[in-house]
Amino acid sequence: MASDSQFPSLDEQLLVIESIGRTLQEDQGTKFEKLLHDANLSATINVTDWTYEAVRALLSVGREKNIKLSLRNGERYCTVVVYPDGPMFSALTESIVVREW
């Protein structure tokens, strides 16, 4: 049986996710969604300077898994509890990226 030390800690997972989120390109969204889907998203995720595609992927996974996401962007904090559909989903994503929430 593998020891727990072989698996990344929550802090290590978040560091990887947060680093990728700042540089993610549109064509990488599917792979990032898989990474997010397999990750523990229970901690506050720092989305400061994330790309639109990265925020969209994170919100999509949160909606799919039906989980509350705690987000930090700069000095602002937000918990997403309900995920809108259609144009409102895009508006929420954009507001997070440009810090208008």
Backbone φ and ψ of 73, nearest 5°:
-135, 105
Q: What is the pLDDT along the chain (101 residues), one digit of tens a residue?
A: 444 556 578 889 999 999 999 999 989 999 999 999 999 999 999 999 999 999 999 999 999 999 999 999 999 999 999 999 999 999 999 999 998 77
CA distance 51 to 47: 9
Domain ranges of the chain: 10-97
The β-bridge partners of 73 are 76
Give Cα 28 distance to the centre of its chain: 14
**pTM beyond cutoff 0.75:** yes
